[in-house]
């Protein structure tokens, strides 16, 4: 082990929520949202590890060596060949857990950004991202959280790469978060091993339309572009009332609507009427005896960042 050389003793890492898939872009598209988890870090105290958590998941997230931020910091430092100093992490979580909004991606990426602050140049950005994807498993959430904006990810020669763009016209995201947790692992196990060619072709058309709509600002195309035939039909059973929630969003003026990641959150895009759309979606859930809360937010242009102090 080389000596560790933290560049700063006290800093805060900000990592945004993300919404993956946007309908047809299963595992290849994600968008960063303007809702951030904050991890305030102080190094060099008297305790090996001291974790304080407030906000989402404060009752559920471990405060010991099993904490995902800390585990990711350890993994990053191990990759870089540096030791981990005594560390205090104060998590301020705004992103609900197990709801398809990239909460675990924030912990993994946040932990690795802490490792990078400790290791300096010994942990290259590309290696950090590859390790983050290895730990977390979902490049669509990870790349969007890291880069910001809308990110298309692909893999070449074993390396994940992302192409980022910012939609040209203002676009708001309405997230309706039902009181139901969905395990991503389970939601992936529901998917078939093979598909009918007509379903694949339908998704190819929709994903092409989706990128075009977001790239050019022709958001009216999102109504059809966010339809999906390869994961949503199988996952809808995990989200009671899903189809009604989508219909109510569209009826009240949303451009388009889909499951956020593997759920249970449902995301709709709009330019105006966000509150009205959120109310309609929550009411549709209520008709299926599901309580929900809503968040209305912008797309985050900048993605994850670190501030000293």
Query: Based on the number of CB atoms within 10 Å of its own CB, is 233 exposed (0-12), middle (13-18) or buried (19 or more)?
Result: middle
CA angle 138–299–69, rounded 5-degree value: 40
Q: Does 261 bind ligand HSE (CB under 6 A)?
A: yes
Q: Does 23 bind ligand HSE (CB under 6 A)?
A: no
Nearest to 171 by CA among 127, 125, 222, 128: 222
The number of beta carbons lying within 10 Å of the beta carbon of residue 130 is 17
For the record, the structure tokens of 177 come out as 């978060």
For the record, the structure tokens of 237 come out as 């059973």
Q: Does 138 bind ligand HSE (CB under 6 A)?
A: yes
Q: Does 153 bind ligand HSE (CB under 6 A)?
A: no
- Tell me the C-alpha distance between 142 and 151, whole Å: 10
The number of beta carbons lying within 10 Å of the beta carbon of residue 63 is 15
Least separation in angstroms between CB 213 and ligand HSE: 20
Helices (H) and strands (E) in the chain, counts: 10, 11
Least separation in angstroms between CB 24 and ligand HSE: 11
Least separation in angstroms between CB 145 and ligand HSE: 11
Q: Is 220 helix (H, G, I), strand (E, B) or coil?
A: helix
Region 26-65 residues binding ligand HSE, contact defined as CB under 6 A: 26-27
- Are 172 and 257 in contact, with CB atoms under 8 Å apart? no
Nearest to 12 by CA among 86, 89, 80: 89
Q: Does 4 bind ligand HSE (CB under 6 A)?
A: no
Least separation in angstroms between CB 217 and ligand HSE: 25
Binding segment toward ligand HSE, per CB under 6 A, in 6-14, 19-27, 116-124, 295-303? 19-27
Q: Which of 67, 98, 106, 184 is in the footprint of ligand HSE by CB under 6 A?
A: 184
Q: Which of 4, 21, 98, 294 is in the footprint of ligand HSE by CB under 6 A?
A: 21
Q: Does 262 bind ligand HSE (CB under 6 A)?
A: yes
Strand partners, 10: 42
Q: Does 188 bind ligand HSE (CB under 6 A)?
A: yes
What residues contact residue 233 under an 8 Å CB cut-off, 6+ apart? none
Least separation in angstroms between CB 264 and ligand HSE: 11
Least separation in angstroms between CB 133 and ligand HSE: 12
DSSP element (H, E) containing 25: strand 25-43
Least separation in angstroms between CB 29 and ligand HSE: 9
- For ligand HSE, the closer CB: 6 or 100: 100
- For ligand HSE, the closer CB: 69 or 280: 69
Q: Does 99 bind ligand HSE (CB under 6 A)?
A: no
The footprint of ligand HSE (CB under 6 A) covers 20-21, 26-27, 100, 138, 140-141, 184, 187-188, 261-262
């Amino acid at each position: 082990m080389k000596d560790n050389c933290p560049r700063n003793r006290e800093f805060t890492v900000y990592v945004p929520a993300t919404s993956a898939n946007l309908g047809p872009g299963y595992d290849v598209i994600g968008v960063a949202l303007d809702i951030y988890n904050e991890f305030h870090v102080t190094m060099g105290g008297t305790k090996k590890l001291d974790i304080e958590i407030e906000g989402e998941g404060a009752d559920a997230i471990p405060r010991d060596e099993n904490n995902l931020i800390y585990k990711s910091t350890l993994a990053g430092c191990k990759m870089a060949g540096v030791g981990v100093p005594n560390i205090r992490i104060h998590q301020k979580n705004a992103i609900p857990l197990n709801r398809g909004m990239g909460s675990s991606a924030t912990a993994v990426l946040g932990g690795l950004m802490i490792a990078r602050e400790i290791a300096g140049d010994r942990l290259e950005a590309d290696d950090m991202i590859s390790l983050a994807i290895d730990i977390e498993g979902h490049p669509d959430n990870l790349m969007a959280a890291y880069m910001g904006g809308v990110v298309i990810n692909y893999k070449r020669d074993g390396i994940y790469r992302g192409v980022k763009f910012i939609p040209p016209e203002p676009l708001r995201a309405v997230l309706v978060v039902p009181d139901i947790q969905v395990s991503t692992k389970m939601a992936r196990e529901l998917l078939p091993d093979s598909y009918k060619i007509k379903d694949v072709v339908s998704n190819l058309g929709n994903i092409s339309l989706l990128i075009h709509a977001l790239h050019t600002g022709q958001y009216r195309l999102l109504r059809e572009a966010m339809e999906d035939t390869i994961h949503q039909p199988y996952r809808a059973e995990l989200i009671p009332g899903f189809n009604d929630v989508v219909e109510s969003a569209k009826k009240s003026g949303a451009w388009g609507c889909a499951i956020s990641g593997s759920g249970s959150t449902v995301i709709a895009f709009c330019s105006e009427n966000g509150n009205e759309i959120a109310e309609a979606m929550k009411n549709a859930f209520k008709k299926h005896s599901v309580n929900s809360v809503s968040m209305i937010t912008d797309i985050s242009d900048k993605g994850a960042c670190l501030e000293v102090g």
